[in-house]
Structure formats: C-alpha cells, structure tokens
Structure 1
C-alpha cells in the first residue's frame, strides 16, 4: 500500500436551511498557504497493458451538472465509458446524451436506488472507477452560513445523510464490482474545509469560515477515505479538494471555473495500481489533514 499522505486545503461552501443539491462536492478557497511542504503532484498512470482510460468503466454520482458533469466530459474524452449518476432520471439522460455517456438513476440517500444502479452496472459488465461527487450544502434563506449558534441536530442530520451516509451507501453497493476490476479506483470529493490543520491555522482563509455541518461532513469523508483505503489496499482510494469552484452549491460565487475545479478529480480518477492511496489532494499536490 502506498504511503498515507498527510493532506489538507481550504474550501468552502456556506450552509443552512435551503438545501442545494449539487453535482459537485468541492468548495474551498484555493490559495491558502500550503502546510508542511506538499509533495509532488500525483501523476496519472496508465492501466497495465492499456492506454489511459482504455476499457475503463467509470461511475460519477451527481454528474448531471457542475463538477460532476465536467469530470464526466473529461473522462469520456480520455476514453472512459462513463455513467452519469443522477437523482433526476430525465436530467441524467439529457446530460449523458450531451456527453456521449450513459445514464443511471442514482439517489445516494435511497438504498433501493443505489442497489438498482449497482445491478445495472453489474449487468453491463462492471465498474473500475467510482467518483463520489454528489453532495449538498445547507444555507439560510438569505444565502448565509448556518453557524455554530444556529446549527441544530436536524440540520446536521439532513446534510450528513447525503454527504457522509451517501458515500457509505454507494461504496457498500459497488465494492463487489470494484473488487472484480484489475485496477479499481475511488475518488471521494471532499473540501479544504475538512482540513483540521487549515481550519485551526489563524493565517488560513479556512479559519474564518463559520459553518459547522459542511466541514464536519467532509472531515468524515476524509476519515472514510483513509479507513476504506486501509481495508482495501488493492484499490486506490483518495479524497480530493476541487477548490472554490463556481457551481450551484455556492450560488456560482466560486473563484474557479468547473474546468479548473475538475482537474484534480479527473487526475485522481486515472491513477494506476502504483498510484497514491489514502491521500488528500488538490491540484497542487497533497494537503494536510
């Protein structure tokens, strides 16, 4: 198993009463000082005996728009057979037609939906790469962040149902297919706000972010990443921080384009068997936890 990279990054969405469903999960203000010397950028490695992306089947959750859609576009161009996972079947079909991809209805909060999607991919031949991209953020009606003084258990539970339990639900359903792959890869879209190092550093932009539930959910995703990577050393399982990308999640307030934000997702979706695992990365390299 590759070294465990000790990463981090800032990122960030606001949070609260209005639920914003996204085809992306990243957020984070790029540009905070990199903690403790980042290592080299992870490099995409061709799969044994094939060109990069050749004969590779990839599922992306929340892929009918935003970062998920752009990731799908790039991986289709790289030669992957891509399944656009979408809660709304019609939107998923439209996105897939535009991309030259396949669509599958997949609501990460619903067991039956996830199980049915797994059955569909099993019947179609299996799965090599899973990108857990679907996620939500909670905002107040005026677009503000639900801070510690106003956060409730119900608000937190709703957000965790998608961002954390959804990841576990999808992994549980698709692990049997991934284990049959010659080079299985999982990419969990996280956030720089999940980095305890960044959030506690006074000189980091993440330090000033007052939201609680969203960063907590992404910190949980990071822990899931490490523990699953340890449990399945033959897989390459990593978390990524896309950066503060303009998507529906942040009302398009992000400072990056989806093309920029998708870069690290696409790169980590193409790592080979000798690539990193149990790491946390942004486009510049490893991040501190």
Structure 2
C-alpha cells in the first residue's frame, strides 16, 4: 500500500509539473531590452508565464497592452504587470508577496528571474549602485524562497564592468574577479570608494554585479545563476551614444542563460551568448573565455 501511495504521489507531482508553466520575472520590463526579453520568452517558449516588472504601474500595463496588440490574444493569459521598483525595499517586498500568491503552492516554483532593471550614465555613484547593484541583491533576497533546484537567475550586466576592471591596478582587478571576494568585502570596498569614481559609477556598478553573481552562484549551487551583457543596444540608457542595435538583438544572451544548456555557474557571457572574461572586453565572435 505504501508503494502504491508513493507512486500515486510521484505521478501527481509529475502531472502538476507538466501542467504548470515556467513562471519568469523580468525587472525593468516596460520598455527597451526588458520588454523585448518578455516578448522573446513568450514567442519562443510556449510553456511560460511572464511577470513584467515595472517601476511605474501605468507604464507597465501599457507595455502589456502593446505586447498583446503586437503578439495577439494568445499571450493574454501568459503575461501580467507587477509593480516593482528595484531601488525600493518596500516595493520589492510587495512584488515578492504578489508573485508568491500567484505561484500558489510551493510545488509550483518561480522558474526564473531576469534582473534587467538599471540606470545609465550621469548619476551619482550612490544612486547608480542602489539600482544596478543593490537592486538585483534586493530582488534575489526577496525571491529566493520562491526558487527551486534548477531555477535560473540572469543578471543583465554590461561590458562596462570588464572595461572598468581592466583599468584598475592589479590588486583591485584581482579583487573584482576573485571567487574569494565576499559580498561583505565588496560592500566595504564600495563604501571605501564612495564618490571618488563618480565618472565611472556605471562600470563600477556592473563590475560589482559580476562579483555578486559569482558569490550567489557559489552560495546557491542548486540554482543556475549567470550574468551577461546584452550588447550595445539602442535604448534610453544609450541615447545619443551611437548605439543602433534594436532591443531584440539584446535578448540573445539573456534567453540563452534562461533556457540554454549551460556548462558552468557564476559565469559572465558576451552579447553573443559566449562565455567572456570579467577583467577585459571580449568582442562578439572572438574565442570563448576558458579561464577560472
């Protein structure tokens, strides 16, 4: 009798997993690369449900409407807006509560998180770090309870991170590339740096995000956690800088990290979805990075 009950339980679990879509949260998704990622997920992966995170609820709902208008009614039951400001502790907590209720039973995990929300150049170091570095930390901390073995976290980083590290002295470069660097040590370093590198705040924030990616992957080996650069994409963040690649082209690496067959964890990938170093720039098409 025990074996029969066990078999029934396993069959019910398998059936439930087959019926449940892969639920994915994309932050900063009301426009640009984030919105394009949502669209690509919905078009390429039919067994998915997307939470479109948006700091402004109205803009997020408008993004949902525009996606439905472009992709058709077939995505209506697979997409919804969730108000989420990654720079706010209370907003992130509220979003986690909303999605936790949507996920229902703990047997229905959140399949993936794409930490896409970010700010660009021209802001103070404090504001830049609060969104680009501490933002993903907040999101991961709040949503980790909803993840299960095999769930994936994608950090949208930037080539500005490796470029920042390449300009540092050897000791500092080792600090920003070592698996031995703890998050606590990193936060101490950022406090020490303060606003002394305000002109390089964006690169600093992305180099820090790459360190966090390594450390989170080290702490949670049951999850699949990696970072990537989407490439030099024409968005509000790059306005006036000469970028001419459409947001759709910025989805290649993120989608690979969400659904591809990956060989490592805590790695950084180029916009061509090929593993890249975090201490120097690797151009798309160049050989993959194979170091530690």
Check if 1:97 corresponds to 2:80: no
SS in 1 for 2:264: coil
How far is 1:96 from its partner? 1.9
Structure 1 unaligned spans of 5+:
1-47, 140-145, 147-154, 202-209
SS in 2 for 1:234: coil
Q: Are the structure 2 counterparts of residues 197 and 97 from structure 1 closer, same or farther at C-alpha, using a change threshold of 3 Å?
A: closer
Root-mean-square deviation (CA, aligned residues, Å) is 2.7
2:159 is matched with which residue? 192
Check if 1:159 corresponds to 2:128: yes
How far is 1:171 from its partner? 0.7
Check if 1:69 corresponds to 2:35: yes
Cα deviation digits, residues 136-187 of structure 1 (max 9, x gap): 0133xxxxxx8xxxxxxxx110111111111111111001111xx3421000
SS in 2 for 1:244: coil
2:91 is matched with which residue? 113
Contact 2:164 2:207 in 1 (8 A): no
TM-score by length of 2: 0.68
Structure number with greater CO (CA < 8 Å, separation at least 6) is: 1
Instruction: Give the alignment of 1:3-152 within 5 angstroms.
Output: 55-77=21-43, 78-79=45-46, 80-99=48-67, 100=75, 101-125=79-103, 126-139=109-122
Larger deviation: 120-129 or 85-94? Answer: 120-129
1:288 is matched with which residue? 277
Task: State which structure, 1 or 2, has the greater radius of gyration over its C-alpha atoms.
Answer: 2
CA distance in 2, matches of 1:135, 1:247: 12
CA distance in 1, matches of 2:125, 2:164: 22
